[in-house]
Structure 1
Amino acid sequence: MSDSQSRFGFVSFAETWNGRLAMMGFVIGLATELLTGQGILAQIGLG
């Protein structure tokens, strides 16, 4: 990667990692919900 390419903002690199982390968060949240039997809001005391 050259110095002229940015890793921040609306660039392909940042959007790819944002998507990957969002998918991981969704899967982890779903797995936690399935394992505990409580929704995410109930787990943090809001539900």
Structure 2
Amino acid sequence: MEKQENKFGFTSFAENWNGRLAMLGFVIGILTELLTGKGILSQLGLM
């Protein structure tokens, strides 16, 4: 039986996906800010 790498916890697989999703969220936040003309905090109603 082959040894399978865990996909949860502090593994390189999980960390790679965490980084990719963080970059995607950052880009989406910047694009939304450019399209609406309002900052992220303003969009959330915090300012």
TM value normalised by structure 2: 0.88
- RMSD of equivalent CA atoms: 1.3
Aligned length in residues: 46
Partner Cα separation in structure 1 for residue 4 and residue 28 of structure 2 = 35
TM value normalised by structure 1: 0.88
> Structure 2: where are the runs of 5+ without partners?
none
Stretches (4+) displaced over 3 A = none
Partner Cα separation in structure 1 for residue 36 and residue 26 of structure 2 = 15
Identity %: 67
